[in-house]
Structure 1
Amino acid sequence: MKKIGFLSFGHWSPSEHSQARSAADVLHQSIDLAVAAEELGVDGAYFRVHHFARQAASPFPLLAAIGARTSEIEIGTGVIDMRYENPLYMAEDAGAADLISAGRLQLGVSRGSPEQVIDGWRLFGHNPAPGETDADMARRHTEAFLKVLGGEGFAQPNPRPMFPNPPGLLRIEPHSEGLRDRIWWGSGSNATAVWAAELGMNLQSSTLKDDETGEPLHVQQRKQIEAYREAYRKAGHTRQPRVSVSRSIFALTDDLDRAYFGRDRNSRDQVGMLDDTTRAVFGRSYAAEPEELVKLLRDDEAIQAADTLLLTIPNQLGVDYNAHLLESILTHVAPELGWR
């Protein structure tokens, strides 16, 4: 069995060809798609977070709304840019969303990706400490977030509070027990995967990563997953960790599928530069008739190594069509691979 979720970037565009023409469209359609996905048997509804863009941001209201409309599907992010986050306020939001969903939150966090604006985190009031990079600041915010999610008191109570306090130091409220074990780190390198393992986080590996060996993405990711699991074991954690990989996968079952994605049949990995400093490998898309798609996916070493697969979706094509794409994978592909 492999868990299968969808990952939406939440794009919107005023174009007449888009079914998501505003932020309101994206939010309402995201809720509707999560409901439809749960009915189909999809395991997770995940959302990317980008600031200053016509894409999904401010994830907790959306996650809470989905949690209130559904009962089984996991809800999460892939990923929240921790350079922008106040760890204590984020812990309050995350605790509330997790309680609303009865413990179904799977929260992906990371250093983030190339931005729409220059040093946007500074506009949110966050600045690296002396000697820190923005990536260092993201990891520092993450460690603070993980610590307060543990639920231990750390704040000195006011001797004359407005409301009576429990004894001892106070913790962040609302606290959701178990959420600390459902935090994922979106890792773009082997080194940060090892760091995430040492802190006891789960691992998310995207459709791109640092090109550290020149090998295909799926091979590099498989080695990254192996390094992560070995580091997790050496750190002495007893909980079984989870690992997800993201892929663009389209089963071509009708003429509309072929019109939209038939051109991706011969897709290949691409190599490019991130931030003018980092060489990265961008993963191919998979688009083929179901029988051929099964053969292609069997050869993807990272998918085989992961316990969770996140399917990136073209959200601007609307709820009904994206539900069709998900149903095609669940019906025609997953059973042949032993995932269902």
Structure 2
Amino acid sequence: MQKLTYISNLAVNKTSGGGFGVNAATFASLQSEFDVKYIGPVSPVVREVEQYFSKVQKLLRLPRNYYFYSDSRLSQVRDELQLKLATSLKAPLFFHGITPWIKYKPEVAYFVHTDACFASYVDVFNNGEIFRKKDIARIIHLERSWLDSATAVFFRSTWAMNETVRLYELAGKNFHVTGVGGFADFPEHDSYCGGYNFVFISKEFIPKGGQVAVDAFLKVQQVYPEATLTIIGDEPSAAIKERPGVVCTGMLWKEKQVDKKSFQHILTGAFAHIHPTTKDTNTLVIAETSYYGCPSIAPLAFGMADQIVDGETGFLLQTPIEIEDLKNKMLWMIEHEEIYLKMRKQARAYARLHQTWEGVGKKISSIIQHTL
């Protein structure tokens, strides 16, 4: 069996979702095809002086360095990685993520799995913050060269791949789109039994569009008082929690069996998943809700176009998402029952074909085997 060294800044035994979940799922899928050795977590602490200086600059609204990827910290990552790889066989390398590793120059074939490049992250998640242009350019220069030299780079969405090609002015001949999966069991049947229980799932209520979701729901509730909204994850304000028909579960951690069962129970009875996010790359919850036949409404932005077939498995809305537009799609689902029920079947079928970690793993493994 071909040997492969898997390198990550995260532990591979955490499966709660997000970056941890993707990391664990990728590692597990590679193990089915390769003899994989894990090295990690490689994540040296940030120097306090760099962090403090950056925070002072932020308070003073001065351009600041991106301290998490300072030259000294990237050098620490490189040195730690070199030390850990010194006793390893010269097997091909597989990196979880991009930016932490850009000062390490592999002498063997290497593969990269990511949801977006650094420039996209800064644009999406640090929008409005002021960084020193020279410091951002330093990181982008290193990352551009490192990606261009990789044997293959696996992106989780077409959007992320195209943005990297555009922002880094790369040909992208070694770039591939592999998609994402979810961290929920894929039930044998859709057990939805009726009702209008909308769900909103996020670790960040406001950036993921929580207020827009609530405002749209309240307008729907004026027409259909029996409608409910379950908010999973980051909790909203007390005023929202006290609204009739709104249920907040708090965070549900899937590595805890009781939380996992609660999460899956909610999805079993969910009518639709609303995700009017403004800060994202791709999201695992669209895959997870689709497993249960629950269609999603999300923006025509980021990686969502790979996850939703507009009008067939859910809806994609123009950005920025307006409350009225979201409300209208929610009402449409309620008022077009026959088409809606067909949408549930199509959401499950599309997810089974395109949004499982088994499928993602097979794509990645096939490309690795073909290139070695």
The alignment's TM-score, normalised by the length of structure 2, stands at: 0.30
Higher Cα radius of gyration? 2
Between the two structures, name the one with larger relative contact order (CA 8 Å, sep ≥ 6): 1
The alignment's TM-score, normalised by the length of structure 1, stands at: 0.32
